[in-house]
Amino acid sequence: MPDYGSIVEFIVRRLVNQPDEVSVSTERSGSGAAMVTISTAQDDIGRVIGKHGATINAIRLVAKAASVKPGEKVDVDLS
């Protein structure tokens, strides 16, 4: 089972200006779905979202691609 939080954290830390402010948490629901939550500095939220949400959608796509082989469900949210 891949560690979705570390995959997402690896990507996000390289996108932002303040990588020390990035924190990523992963929680499992009762059905086994993984919920990955990203927290960044206020100034870096726009970098993670990207134009028209393109960057956060790409991050979600990478996490979902990692979940295909084990047959799991993963959701990525930005707070």
Domain boundary assignment for the chain: 4-78
pLDDT of residue 30: 82
Residues 4-53 pLDDT 10s: 999 999 999 999 999 999 999 999 988 888 999 999 999 999 999 999 99
Cα 36 from Cα 22, distance rounded (Å): 13
Q: Is the dihedral of CA 52, 5, 73, 71 positive or negative?
A: positive
| Global pTM value | 0.92
Domain 4-78, CATH 3.30.300.20 — does that match? Answer: yes
H helical segments located in the chain:
4-15, 45-49, 54-66
Chain segment 63-76, per-residue pLDDT in tens? 999 999 999 999 99
Beta carbons of 40 and 48 less than 8 angstroms apart: yes
pLDDT value at position 31? 82
